[in-house]
Structure 1
């Protein structure tokens, strides 16, 4: 295990396939909590600095959103712009203007609801959001400059986790969500020219349960977890892409849970559903423990980085790489229930 540095206390990261970095990658937007585990607002912190240094208040989270539970958001990789949904509205916010407030970009019509996970394009000019109605899940793309709405896909099954592929945002990944043991086609992609109707891009072997895909910065494809609850194997971390729907095993592991991939594509990071050094798979003998493992994608070997605890959202570790690949950040749950964001500096390779 490596020395841990606390970056922010009483706060959590956004979802792993989204982003929170801004100011040329030097600052990080996070969600702050209060004592009763309600989200209270967005703040920006310098992730290289320890101990809540230079915290910038961005905006409060409205009461309705606080009651609904976890609040997610996404920050554009190459623009000072944040997108998020709360209170049935898709919001956009200018992070370069420290006096700016969130502005409404789109409101769901009556009888429909917006999912909490959104994705903003690297340039910050488009936002993906999923809209739900009974038996209908529609992926919308909203033009930030004009407010124009495009309906990209509608599915009768639970479609979510949509996000732009950072390597080529013309590609959009999304998931067929649901019980992992009964959904045989989790990983989907859409391209306006090459796959305009969308298609499953990972053929799942019988008894292998995939999820928590994260599309990559260095190539059109995604890292995907084969969960420990899979009846069959091999379990672990896989690579999936439209060019190779058979998939490719990257690293074996019986407890992998969430994942991220470095921007250069050389390393991955995973958290686990239980101690990585304890016998068992999935949540067997887990005791609420989660380990953070660095994965070398040349040979699939792992290096333990940290150990934390995990309960319900947002107290999942959700480890991510910093933009320069020098460190990993994760949500760190202390035994007393305090949730913090912790940094682990990585060894050079």
Structure 2
């Protein structure tokens, strides 16, 4: 990138950066936490969750000692719950090996549990002003347009090309103070100006004079992105088994999708009401009344759940199932770490008398 464009970008960022609760705090923990939360999640959804999380767990030590169920509850609504588990795992490692501090070294950061090259680069450059690449989707989009890279943006070699170009900048003799603003400037530009889906605001861009895609009217075709495979659709049937006081809740396995979170019991199939009765009876319950609940849909990255649910009223729940099943009252149902996939049903009960 031309030196004049580097200066323009940094100046643009300093004048136009949005106010964020984690920005300009000088705290590496804030950078780390925000970057993990922002993965696959919109900024506006992250802001309130970040503030609530920081209020409860203000530092690495409190995160490392946090109870798992409490941690999942604090993370509820952000999705991709493995991120929260990896945060705690890394915090525990930092307490044991780094006195509860994030190391001021890009290579050491990359070796920490749950921290990949992007997050390591973000922490190193934003928190410590180190010359380290932090390449996310926004950075890829801005720089493939700027340099005119027409190959599939999903290919690893495209990311490698961008990393090489960034390293050329980092290895040149620019003042240390520019690394943080430079990296954040590209991210901010991609988030607010050099946006996807045919709507870039090129006339507002500080890089437009030397941007290949803009100068050649190719912003609609760069970056090129190949199509993803269609999501797999999984039909599920949920059982809201309850008596006058309690609900039966299941805790999912500690590995896999939504690991360690709570859900209503269910099966991966679309059952008829008669099949539901037989299944519930096989669990040792005698249904008094069965009510069909509204269908719901939840979309994951590569999977789509189509859920069908039934409320099964029984006289009294005295389950003899394994230790992964729990009885909870209505108040407890609202306080458990239950994924947003099931929110339609938990919210439905929270509104009832």
Bin for the TM-score computed over the shorter chain? under 0.3
Greater percentage in helix = 2
**Higher Cα Rg: structure 1 or 2?**
2
TM-score by length of 2: 0.26
